């Protein structure tokens, strides 16, 4: 099933209505969809490198809107919709663990998890379930999702196809390393 879905997403990336499909996939990926939006964004960026910034902006915006939907599902419909979504992905305990982490670490969870391979839908559902404040959630989502999609756009715009393998296999590691450097810098400033 996932192979068919992957094939269909890459076909949609080449369609005349690709930007609209990018919006649909980015919104769904942040709340319920099983595959990352990067599967659609990367081929679109490669096909039209001049529109890289526009596509990254659209993807970021749609992903944050999808994150808001995920937050609302977690906050108000966790029992009826959120947990069945988590159960479908065999992530029941992961959602509960994230919810507890939100209560303890707040915005840092969004910043860290939004850059990692952990599906963002889990972050959004858990943030809502923990009733994490909405404005900091949206702000952190803009930062973390924007960093991911604009970095992809920058790399693909500059290097094209040769960088595709790097993005598909190692981008999450690079983004996580950047997050550690940022957190270390903030911690250093706090202790000085």
Supply the pLDDT for residue 108. 79
Q: What is the average per-residue pLDDT within 21-37?
A: 86
Supply the pLDDT for residue 47. 82
Residue of 18, 6, 128, 141 whose CA lies nearest to 69? 128
Q: What is the average per-residue pLDDT within 145-155?
A: 90
Q: What is the average per-residue pLDDT within 90-119?
A: 77
pTM higher than 0.85: no
Residue of 176, 161, 192, 166 whose CA lies nearest to 45? 161
12: Cβ–Cβ under 8 A, 6 or more apart, which residues? 18, 21, 25, 40
Supply the pLDDT for residue 167. 67
49: Cβ–Cβ under 8 A, 6 or more apart, which residues? 156, 157, 160
Q: Is the pLDDT of residue 1 over 60?
A: no
Check residues 26 and 16 and name the one with the higher pLDDT: 26
Kindly report, residue by residue over 160-187, the tens digit of the pLDDT.
Answer: 878 777 766 666 666 666 666 655 655 5
Check residues 144 and 57 and name the one with the higher pLDDT: 57
User: Which range has the worst mean pLDDT, 10-14, 45-49, 89-93, 176-180?
Assistant: 176-180
Kindly report, residue by residue over 66-79, the tens digit of the pLDDT.
Answer: 999 999 998 898 88
């Amino acid at each position: 099933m996932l192979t068919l879905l992957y094939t269909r997403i890459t076909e949609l990336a080449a369609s005349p209505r690709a930007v609209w499909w990018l919006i649909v996939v980015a919104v769904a990926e942040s709340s319920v969809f099983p595959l990352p939006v990067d599967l659609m964004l990367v081929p679109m960026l490669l096909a039209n490198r001049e529109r890289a910034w526009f596509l990254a902006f659209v993807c970021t915006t749609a992903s944050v809107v999808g994150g808001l939907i995920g937050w609302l599902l977690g906050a108000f419909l966790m029992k009826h919709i959120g947990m069945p979504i988590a159960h479908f992905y065999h992530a029941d305990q992961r959602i509960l663990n994230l919810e507890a982490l939100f209560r303890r670490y707040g915005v840092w969870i969004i910043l860290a998890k939004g850059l990692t391979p952990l599906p963002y839908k889990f972050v959004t559902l858990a943030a809502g379930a923990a009733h994490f404040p909405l404005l900091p959630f949206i702000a952190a989502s803009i930062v973390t999702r924007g960093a991911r999609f604009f970095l992809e756009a920058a790399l693909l715009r500059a290097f094209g196809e040769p960088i595709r393998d790097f993005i598909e296999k190692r981008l999450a590691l690079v983004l996580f390393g950047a997050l550690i450097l940022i957190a270390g810098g903030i911690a250093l400033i706090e202790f000085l």
